[in-house]
Amino acid sequence: MNRTIRVGSRDSTLAVIQARLVIDAVKKTSPMDFEIITIKTMGVGGKGQFIKELEQALADGNIDIAVHSYKDMPFEETEGLPVVALSEREAPFDVLVLPKGITTLENSKPIGSSSLRRTIQFAKLYEDFEIKTIRGNVPTRLSKLDNGEYSALILAQAGLNRLSLQNRISRIFTIDEMIPPASQGIIAVQGRQGEDHSFLDNFHNRVSETVSKAERRFLKTLGGNCSTPVAVYGQIHNNELLLTGMYVDADGNIKTGKISGSIDRSEQLGEQLAVHLKEKAGE
């Protein structure tokens, strides 16, 4: 008799949807039983606290796997708790969301952004807009927007797609306009070292693995994390990886650049681009 796999997730609508995406994908090839166990964090600490709490539940044996948005995870894996599978990448782009019933961007109220990376890049596209930090899950942010607190929000397209809120998107920023963070749009599954995770083999996406290796090496080389203004995005065409990145130094100098090469050198390409941008910033 097969045991039930306990899947750990954050206690939010989007996080549970992502956990169900993993389960549904596995069930297509493996008739297994799953149970979603949500973790609700009462204290402060943001996304990092949710990662830690899920990892603790995994280490304690209270769950068998944990499901995360890969962009929220630190580039250094926690010892004994490796990432064992990655999803196919959902749309990686950032988007502009206007209040319901509004069709043009107005400068009467601030723009809501949850990251310095987005704020810096938006300011290059639109001058003279006030940008204000916004917190909370996607439905909470949309509620604040529609209640008149903001002129617009900058959100991840992947989250809106997974919440079936594509109709709220007013503009999709291109990579040249707004480079996303490492691994945006990718779901990561974390497990315990030494256990059998072969049931995830058909879920795991090799393209996501390759681009994430490059993007996260770029992040690691610059010493960035999920909250620093570092941006990087990898695309694969015919076994060639094109990597686009942004680095902001301590003085606020913004440097962007690209590098390409064989997918076999994905991590080296990430490191080379990071070093190049850091040198450009120091010129």
Homologous superfamily in CATH for domain 1-87+186-203: Periplasmic binding protein-like II (3.40.190.10)
Tokens 């830690």 — which residue? Answer: 52
Class for the domain spanning 205-283 = alpha beta
* Rounded (10°) CA dihedral 120, 174, 115, 53: -150
Query: Which pLDDT score, from 0 to 100, does residue 228 have?
Result: 67
Q: Radius of gyration (Cα) for the chain, nearest Å?
A: 19
DSSP SS3 for 169: strand
Q: What whole-number distance in Å separates Cα of residue 248 and Cα of residue 70?
A: 22
Contacts of residues 263-267 at CB distance under 8 Å and 24 or more positions apart, as own/partner, are 263/210, 263/236, 263/239, 265/241, 266/210, 266/211, 266/213, 266/214, 266/217, 266/234, 266/241, 267/213, 267/214, 267/217
DSSP SS3 for 243: strand
Domains 94-172 and 205-283 share a fold: no
Which amino acid appears at position 140 of this protein?
Answer: T
**Two tokens at 65?**
């796997």
Catalytic status, residue 128: no
Is 82 within 8 Å of 107 (Cβ atoms)? no
- Give 10-residue mean pLDDT values along the chain (283 residues): 86 95 93 91 60 94 96 91 97 97 93 93 92 93 96 97 97 96 97 95 96 96 74 96 93 91 97 92 68
Q: What whole-number distance in Å separates Cα of residue 137 and Cα of residue 61?
A: 28
Which amino acid appears at position 95 of this protein?
Answer: V
DSSP 78: B
Catalytic one of 24, 72, 196, 201: 72
For domain 94-172, the question of CATH label 3.40.190.10 is answered with yes
Domain edges within the chain: 1-87+186-203, 94-172, 205-283
CA 202 distance to own-chain centroid:
22
Is 12 within 8 Å of 135 (Cβ atoms)? no
Query: Which pLDDT score, from 0 to 100, does residue 253 have?
Result: 84
Query: Which pLDDT score, from 0 to 100, does residue 280 have?
Result: 81
